[in-house]
Structure 1
Amino acid sequence: MSTANEASYVTRAPSDVTEKETHDAEEQESTMDNEMKKELLDDKKERKREDKKEGTERSELSSQEGTVDSQIYTATSLPVHETRTKTYPLILDRAYGINQTLPVFSLQDEDRLVILYACAHVAVMCDHTSNSQHLLQGHCSPITCLCASEDRRWLVTADRGQENLVIIWDSYTGIPVRTMFDCHPEGGVSALALSKDSKYLATVAGTAQRVCIWDWTDESVSPKCRVDISPKYGFQNQILFHPSDSTQLISNSESQVLFYIWEMGCLEYSAPDISNKIFNVALGSLSQSIFHYDGVRALTATSKGYIVIWDKESESVSRDPLVWKATKVIPLQNAGITVLTLIDSFLVTGDVNGHIKFYDENLKLISLYSQYSLDPIRSISFSKEIPSTNGPGYKEDCTLNAKPFVIRNFVLSTTQATIVHVNAQKNVLQTLLKEHAEPLEAVACHPKQPLVTMGSHSGTIKVWDYERKEAVCSRVFQSHKKIQCITYDPQGFYLAVGFASGALQILDAYTLESEEDQCLQYSQDAITHLTFSQDSLYLAAADTGKAVTLLRRYKEGSQEIWMYQGRHHSHYEPIQDLLFGVDLDSNQSRLLSLGMDRKLVEYDLLNSGENELMILSSDRIEQSAVPTCMLWYPPTPEHFLLTASSMYKMKLFNATSKMCRKTVLGPSYGSPVKKMAILPASKDGDPNSRYMAYITRDKIGIQILPLDGNPHKSFAAICHSTGVYALACSYDGRYAFTAGGPDCTVFSWELSLSSLEALAALGGKEMLPYYSLLEEGREGQLFKEMEEYFYYCQLQNQDFNTMETRLVSTRIPLSDMPFLMRALNFYPTEQELEDMENEVKFSCYAETRNYVTDIDLEDFIKLYVNHRPASGTSRQELCNAFQVLGRRDGRGRYTIARDELLELLQAKGEHMTEDELAECFTTLLGFSSESCKDSESPLDSVLPTEISMETFATDILGFSTATLELPREDT
Structure 2
Amino acid sequence: MSAAAAEVQGGELGDGRAGSSPAAGAQRSGEQRPQEEELRERSVGGRAEDTAAGTRSPKPGHLQPQDSQVYTATQLPFINKKENSDKTHPLTLDWAFGINPAVPVFSLVDEDRLAVLYSCSHVAVIYDHTSNSQHLLQGHCSPISCLCVSEDRRWIVTADKGQESLVIIWDSYTGIPVRTLFESHPEGGVAALALSKDSKYLGTVGAGAVQRVCIWDWTNETEGPECQVEIHPEHGFQNHITFNTTDSFQLVSNSEGHVLFYTWVSTTFSKVVGPISQSTFFSSGVQACSVSLAGNVVLWDVVEGSAADKNREMQATKLITLQNDGISALTLCDSFIVTGDVNGHVKFYDESFKLINWYSEFNLDPISSISFSKEITSSSSVRNQEDCSLNNQPLIKRNFVLSTVSAALVHVNVQGSVAQSLLKEHVESLDAVACHPKHPLVAMGGHSGLLKVWDYEKKTVVFSRVFNTDKQIQCMAYDPQGFYLALGFASGTVQILDACTLQQEQEESFQYSLECITHLTFSHDSSYLATADSGKAVTVFQLCKKGGQHPIQDLMFGVQLDSTQPRLLSLGMDCKLVEYDLQNSRKDELLILSLDRIEQSAHPTCMAWYPPLTTEHFLLIASDHYKLKMFNVTTKMCRKTLLGPTYGSPLKKMLILLPCKDKDPSSRYMAYITKDKVGVQILPLDGNPYKSSALICHSMGVSSMDCSYDGRYIFTAGGIDKTVFSWEISLLALEAAASLGGQDMIPFYTLLEGGRDGELFRVMEDFFYYCQLRNQGSDSMETRQVSTHIPLTEVPFIVRALGFYPTEQELEDMQNEVKFSCYAETGNYVTDIDLEDFIKLYINHRPAFLELGVPDESGQPAVSREELLEFLQNRGNFISYQLTDSELLLESELPLNITMDTFASDILGFPGASLEDSPEGSSSSSFPSEVSVEQD
Q: Deviations over 1:104-124 (max 9, x none)?
A: 111124211111111111111
Residue 265 of structure 2 corresponds to residue 270 of structure 1: yes
Query: How far apart in 1 are the matches of 2:498 and 2:782?
Result: 79
Cα pair distance change 1:909/1:310, threshold 3 Å: closer
Instruction: Identify, as 1 or 2, the structure richer in helix.
Output: 1
Partner AA of 2:56 in structure 1: K
Q: What residue number does 1:313 align with?
A: 303
Q: What is the aligned partner in structure 1 of residue 557 from structure 2?
A: 580
In the alignment, which residue of structure 1 is the partner of 2:218? 216
| CA-CA distance at 1:882 after TM superposition | 6.8
Distance in 1 (alpha carbons) for counterparts of 2:197 and 2:238 = 21
In 2: Cα distance, 1:103 partner to 1:623 partner: 50
Q: Tell whether 2:631 aligns with 1:631.
A: no
The match for 1:837 among 807, 810, 815 is 815
Q: 1:248 to 1:581 in 2, by over 3 A?
A: same
Alpha-carbon distance change, 70 to 814 in structure 1, aligned in 2, over 3 angstroms: same
Partner AA of 1:41 in structure 2:
K
Quote the RMSD (CA, aligned, Å): 2.9
* C-alpha separation in 2, matches of 1:418 and 1:428: 16
C-alpha change, 1:660 and 1:20, in structure 2 (3 Å) is: closer
Counterparts of 2:874 and 2:527 in 1: how far apart (Å)?
A: 47
Equivalent of 2:378, from 383, 388, 406? Answer: 388
Distance 1:872 1:137, change over 3 A: same
**Alignment counterpart, residue 59 of structure 2, candidates 41, 45, 49:** 41
Is 1:950 equivalent to 2:901 in the alignment? yes
Secondary structure in 1 aligned to 2:112? coil
Match of 1:769 among 720, 744, 747: 747
Cα offsets for 1:446-469 (capped at 9, x unmatched): 000000010111111111000001
Report the 3-state secondary structure (helix = DSSP H, G, I; strand = E; otherwise coil) of the residue aligned with 1:44: coil
Q: Secondary structure at the match of 1:828?
A: coil
* 2:235 equivalent in structure 1: 233
Match of residue 572 from structure 2: 595
Q: By how many angstroms is 1:683 displaced?
A: 4.6
Q: Which residue of 2 aligns with 1:260?
A: 262
Mean Cα deviation higher: 853-862 or 382-391: 382-391
Name the residue aligned to 1:517: 507
Q: What aligned pairs does 1:375-774 form with structure 2 within 5 A after superposition? A: 375-391=365-381, 394-399=384-389, 403-478=393-468, 480-552=470-542, 565-570=543-548, 572-635=549-612, 636-683=614-661, 687-774=665-752
Q: Contact conserved, 1:506 with 1:518, CA < 8 A, in 2?
A: no
Q: What is the identity, as a one-letter code, of the residue corresponding to 1:251?
A: S
Partner of 1:245: 247
Task: Quote the offset at 1:72 in angstroms.
Answer: 1.2
Taking the aligned partners of 1:165 and 1:906, their CA distance within structure 2 comes to 48
Q: Deviations over 1:661-689 (max 9, x none)?
A: 10000000111111101111125766531
Q: Is the 8 A contact 1:480 1:499 kept in 2?
A: no
Cα offsets for 1:761-787 (capped at 9, x unmatched):
111111111111111111111111111
Deviation at 1:316, TM superposition (A): 3.7
Question: Which residue identity is paired with 1:223?
Answer: P
Q: C-alpha deviations, 1:780-838, integer Å up to 9, x for none?
A: 11111111111221222222333334333221111111111111111110000111111
* Kept in 1: contact 2:608–2:620 (CA 8 A): yes
Aligned residues: 865
1:561 maps to what in 2?
Answer: none
Rounded Cα–Cα distance in structure 2 between residues aligned with 1:906 and 1:397: 81
Q: In the alignment, residue 956 of structure 1 is paired with which amino acid?
A: F
Decide which moves more: 221-230 or 865-874: 865-874
Q: Secondary structure, in 3 states, of the residue corresponding to 1:21?
A: coil
Matches of 1:705 and 1:966, distance apart in 2: 32
Deviations 1:62-81 (A, max 9, x none): xxxxx442111111111211
> What are the equivalent positions in structure 2 for 1:53-132 lying under 5 Å apart?
61=64, 67-82=65-80, 83-84=83-84, 85-132=86-133
What SS is found at the alignment partner of 1:815?
helix
Cα distance in 1 for partners of 2:849, 2:697 equals 24
Q: Which residue of 2 aligns with 1:923?
A: none
CA distance in 2, matches of 1:72, 1:246: 25
SS in 2 for 1:846: helix
In the alignment, is the contact (CA less than 8 A) between 1:394 and 1:405 conserved in 2? no
1:192 aligned to 2:190? Answer: no
Q: Does 2:141 correspond to 1:163?
A: no
1:350-369 alignment to 2 at 5 Å? 350-369=340-359
Deviation sequence 1:151-202 (CA, Å, 0-9, x none): 0111100111122110001111111110010001111110001111111011
- Which residue does 1:5 correspond to in 2? none
TM-aligned CA distance change 1:503 to 1:321, over 3 Å: farther
- CA 1:416–1:499 in structure 2 vs 1: closer, same or farther (change >3 Å)? same
Name the aligned partner's letter for residue 21 of structure 1.
Answer: E
Q: Aligned pair in 2 of structure 1 residues 686, 164: CA closer, same or farther (>3 Å)?
A: farther
How far apart in 2 are the matches of 1:332 and 1:91?
A: 49
Change in Cα spacing, 1:684 to 1:186, as seen in structure 2 (3 Å) is farther
The answer to whether 1:372 aligns with 2:354 is no
Partner letter of residue 545 of structure 2?
R
For the 8 Å contact 1:336–1:352, the answer to whether it is kept is: yes
Judging changes above 3 Å, is the alpha-carbon distance between structure 1 residues 500 and 313 closer, same or farther for their aligned structure 2 residues?
Answer: same
Q: Distance in 1 between matches of 2:560 and 2:103?
A: 52
- CA shift for structure 1 position 880: 11
Instruction: Give the 3 Å change call, closer, same or farther, for CA 594–908 of structure 1 in structure 2.
Output: closer
Distance 2:425 2:218 in 1: 34
Structure 1: unaligned runs, 5 residues or longer: 1-14, 46-60, 62-66, 262-268, 553-564, 888-895, 918-939
- Which moves more between the two structures, 787-796 or 617-626? 787-796
Aligned-pair distance for 1:396?
3.4
* Aligned counterpart in structure 2 of residue 960 of structure 1, from 907, 915, 918: 915
Structure 1 length as normaliser, TM-score? 0.85
Gap regions ≥5 residues in structure 2: 1-29, 41-47, 885-889, 919-923, 928-936
User: Following TM superposition, by how much is the alpha carbon of 1:577 offset from its aligned partner in structure 2, in angstroms?
Assistant: 0.5
Q: Is the 8 A contact 1:394 1:424 kept in 2?
A: no
Structure 1 residues 815 and 240: alpha-carbon distance in aligned structure 2, compared to 1, 3 A threshold: same
Is the alpha carbon distance of 1:319 and 1:720 closer, same or farther for their aligned partners in structure 2, counting shifts above 3 Å?
A: farther
Change in Cα spacing, 1:966 to 1:800, as seen in structure 2 (3 Å) is closer
How has the CA–CA distance of structure 1 residues 965 and 580 changed in structure 2, closer, same or farther, with 3 Å as cutoff? closer
Shift of 1:628: 0.4
Task: Give the Å deviation of 1:429.
Answer: 1.2
Amino acid at match of 1:351: D
Aligned to 1:335: 325
Q: Deviations over 1:917-940 (max 9, x none)?
A: 9xxxxxxxxxxxxxxxxxxxxxx9
Residue matched to 1:299: 289
Counterpart for residue 782 of structure 1: 760
Distance 1:882 1:248 in 2: 54
